[in-house]
């Protein structure tokens, strides 16, 4: 039996980040394919017969062909236990991605070869950099026409301020794309796409200088490949593990997730280079993952993963030690013992009971209504990991239900869906405004809320948009809500009773801040 240290060091937990439609969910599917977790990969978009993506399990995800919630998947490959967090790419769901990055030890940044570095990629990259997460870069869709590879490398440096080290190099692009050259192993991988990328691609290898390669690639493509590799060897950044861990250098991979080009070699390099679980700050000390005591934190809550049972699952990242099914742990925020009797691991919506898990793993436990995002669970001496903040919403709407007989279902749905953290709920302090107010980072969150209330709770809700764009949590002894009852701002409280001000725009917010120097205005609220 492997020791605790061996089990933990074999874990690789990472998030995939990108701008929408860069191929994030497709890459996840192909990693699962090579990991043996699935036998047939289904494209998110494409032919009518294509299956829905494994990681897109909500009905609205299958209908729209987008990811609107983080999916958690695990598989074993090459002696490593891999935990994948497939995050939503759409900017309206970025808060879910921010929270998910708290549970990751590294990130894979996916870039569309034709579009380059896009706005949402920049935002998520900055979050990774703030957290000190090492980043792998995968340039996708090489089977389509795209930007020059050297121009893409320069764009990554100019826009993100990060150098790259190509671990492989594309052979052609678009209609001329033949595969990738592995710079470390010194061979070219050629692929066959006759089955539309649904099964593992065949791989042939040969040295880049082999004259026989000209017969396969053609003289022009072969000559260009040799010239580009020589240029990289002379002028490119050499691989440096310390620079990678500091976030100064990203290993760069090229391929096509849809057609399997470069995916398997990327996975194998990733497992070699990606960090195992790292220590995490709890108060004034670091909790080492190899400490024997169990500790974990909740980073996501998902209601109704199984609509037939109306269950609610709290996803937790194990920070240290070993987890065993049925163990008693301390719920630090509530100050009481709880038994974790039905721990589960996931393949998107599919799940299985787990008997044990280790630091780095992601598990889900049944939530009877006692967990919140940011909660710490542990054995032994209590520790409390830093809370996961709530971000300032940018869109607001009053929510009301049509059928008075559905009030109980409405309250239950509102409570459970807002506890997931993707949408926030506020209550007006001014009399005469009893309806709850929803706040979201993006408009699409409102559509998802209405869809889920209708299909999961049987409640038709109406959303009346409010003219506010900014929220600030307010602290200070001199704060009086009634002073801010007006048209340009609204005094509300959040679900925890904290004071919040909603502002019509940034200018109004700045004016109020300047006029109230004795108050503290925060753009985020730490989880309690």
Please tell me the least confidently modeled range out of 6-10, 118-122, 161-165, 401-405: 118-122
Show the beta-strand stretches assigned E in 103-248: 106-112, 135-140, 163-166, 168-171, 179-182, 187-190, 204-207
User: Is residue 17 within 8 Å of residue 109, measured between CB atoms?
Assistant: yes
Q: Which whole number is the average pLDDT over 126-132?
A: 81
What pLDDT score was predicted for residue 56? Answer: 43
pLDDT at 95 over 70: no
Q: Please give the backbone phi and psi of residue 376, each rounded to the nearest 5 degrees, phi first.
A: -105, 135
Query: Burial level of 514, CB count in 10 A (0-12/13-18/19+)?
Result: exposed
How many Cα atoms sit within 13 Å of 22 on the Cβ side?
29
Q: Which whole number is the average pLDDT over 220-245?
A: 91
Instruction: Give CA–CA dist 524/473, Å, rounded.
Output: 7
What pLDDT score was predicted for residue 206? Answer: 64
Most confident of 125-129, 158-162, 438-442: 158-162
User: How do 344-347 and 350-353 pair as beta strands?
Assistant: antiparallel
CA-wise closest residue to 278 among 9, 3, 2: 9
User: Is residue 169 within 8 Å of residue 153, measured between CB atoms?
Assistant: no
Instruction: Give CA–CA dist 521/500, Å, rounded.
Output: 9
What pLDDT score was predicted for residue 44? Answer: 35
What pLDDT score was predicted for residue 260? Answer: 81
Which one is predicted more confidently, 50 or 94? 94
Which two three-digit tokens encode residue 81?
A: 């236990």
Most confident of 181-190, 365-374, 469-478: 469-478
CA-wise closest residue to 502 among 528, 527, 466: 466
What pLDDT score was predicted for residue 394? Answer: 87
pLDDT at 345 over 80: no
What pLDDT score was predicted for residue 128? Answer: 84
Give 3-state DSSP helix, strand, coil % of the chain, rounded to 5.
25, 30, 40
Please tell me the least confidently modeled range out of 144-153, 217-226, 467-476, 513-522: 217-226
Each residue's pLDDT tens digit, 366-420: 888 888 888 999 999 899 888 776 778 889 999 999 888 899 999 998 988 888 7
Q: Which whole number is the average pLDDT over 451-473?
A: 92
Each residue's pLDDT tens digit, 478-506: 899 999 988 899 999 998 899 999 999 99
At a CB cut-off of 8 Å and minimum separation 6, what does 346 contact? Answer: 71, 72, 73, 74, 362, 364
Q: Which whole number is the average pLDDT over 443-448?
A: 83
Which one is predicted more confidently, 328 or 418? 328
Each residue's pLDDT tens digit, 30-81: 888 877 765 443 433 333 333 444 444 345 444 444 444 456 788 888 899 9
User: Is residue 28 within 8 Å of residue 84, measured between CB atoms?
Assistant: yes
User: Is residue 167 within 8 Å of residue 251, measured between CB atoms?
Assistant: yes
What pLDDT score was predicted for residue 217? Answer: 81
What pLDDT score was predicted for residue 244? Answer: 94
- The rounded percent of the chain whose pLDDT value lies above 90 is 42
What pLDDT score was predicted for residue 341? Answer: 79
State the CB neighbour count (10 A cutoff) for residue 122: 12
Which one is predicted more confidently, 431 or 55? 431
pLDDT bracket for residue 90 (50, 70, 90): very low
Please tell me the least confidently modeled range out of 25-39, 234-248, 356-370: 25-39
Please state, rounded to an integer, the average pLDDT across all residues of the chain: 83
Each residue's pLDDT tens digit, 193-219: 665 555 544 455 566 777 777 877 888
Which pTM was predicted? 0.79
Q: Which helix (H) or strand (E) holds 328?
A: strand 327-331
Which two three-digit tokens encode residue 202?
A: 């065949």
User: Is residue 439 within 8 Å of residue 395, measured between CB atoms?
Assistant: yes
pLDDT at 223 over 70: yes
What pLDDT score was predicted for residue 180? Answer: 87
- The rounded percent of the chain whose pLDDT value lies above 70 is 84
pLDDT at 89 over 80: no
User: Is residue 155 within 8 Å of residue 229, measured between CB atoms?
Assistant: no
Query: Burial level of 132, CB count in 10 A (0-12/13-18/19+)?
Result: exposed
């Amino acid at each position: 039996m492997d020791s605790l240290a061996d089990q933990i060091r074999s874990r690789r937990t990472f998030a995939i980040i990108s701008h929408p439609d860069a191929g994030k969910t497709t890459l996840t599917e192909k990693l699962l394919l090579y990991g043996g977790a699935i036998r047939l990969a289904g494209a998110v978009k494409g032919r009518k017969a294509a299956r829905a993506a494994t990681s897109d399990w909500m009905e609205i995800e299958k209908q729209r062909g987008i990811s609107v919630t983080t999916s958690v998947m695990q598989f074993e490959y090459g002696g490593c236990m891999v935990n994948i967090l497939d995050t939503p790419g759409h900017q309206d769901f970025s808060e879910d991605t921010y929270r998910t990055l708290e549970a990751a030890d590294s990130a894979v940044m996916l870039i569309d070869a034709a579009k380059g570095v896009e706005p949402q990629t920049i935002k998520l990259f900055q979050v990774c950099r703030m957290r000190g997460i090492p980043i792998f870069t995968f340039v996708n869709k090489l089977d389509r026409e795209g930007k020059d590879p050297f121009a893409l490398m320069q764009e990554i440096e100019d826009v993100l301020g990060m150098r790259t080290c190509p671990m492989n190099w594309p052979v052609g692009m678009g209609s001329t794309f033949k595969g990738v050259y592995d710079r470390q192993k010194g061979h070219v991988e050629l692929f066959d796409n006759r089955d539309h990328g649904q099964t593992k691609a065949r791989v042939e290898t040969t040295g880049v200088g082999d004259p026989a390669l000209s017969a396969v690639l053609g003289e022009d493509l072969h000559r260009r490949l040799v010239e580009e590799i020589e240029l990289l060897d002379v002028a490119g950044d050499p691989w440096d593990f310390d620079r990678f861990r500091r976030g100064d250098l990203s290993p760069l991979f090229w391929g096509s997730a849809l057609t399997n080009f470069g995916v398997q070699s990327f996975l194998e390099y990733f497992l070699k280079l990606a960090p195992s679980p790292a220590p995490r700050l709890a108060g004034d000390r670091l909790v080492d993952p190899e400490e024997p005591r169990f500790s974990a934190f909740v980073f996501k809550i998902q209601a109704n993963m199984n609509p037939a049972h109306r269950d609610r699952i709290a996803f937790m990242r194990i920070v240290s030690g070993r987890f065993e099914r049925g163990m008693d742990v301390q719920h630090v925020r509530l100050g009481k013992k709880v038994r974790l009797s039905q721990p589960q691991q996931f393949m998107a919506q599919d799940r299985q009971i787990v008997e044990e898990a280790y630091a780095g793993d992601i598990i889900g436990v049944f939530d009877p209504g006692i967990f919140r995002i940011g909660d710490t669970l542990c054995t032994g001496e209590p520790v409390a990991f830093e809370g996961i903040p709530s971000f300032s919403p940018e869109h607001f709407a009053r929510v009301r239900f049509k059928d008075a007989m559905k009030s109980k279902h409405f309250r239950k749905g509102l409570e459970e869906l807002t506890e997931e953290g993707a949408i926030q709920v506020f209550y007006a302090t001014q009399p005469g405004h009893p309806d709850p107010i929803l706040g979201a980072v993006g408009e699409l969150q409102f559509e998802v809320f209405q869809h889920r209330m209708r299909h999961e709770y049987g409640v038709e809700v109406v959303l009346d948009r409010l003219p506010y764009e900014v929220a600030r949590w307010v602290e200070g002894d001199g704060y009086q809500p009634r002073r801010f009852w007006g048209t340009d701002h609204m005094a509300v409280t959040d679900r925890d009773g904290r004071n919040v001000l909603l502002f019509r725009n940034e200018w109004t917010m700045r004016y109020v801040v300047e006029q109230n120097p004795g108050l503290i205005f925060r753009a985020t609220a730490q989880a309690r």
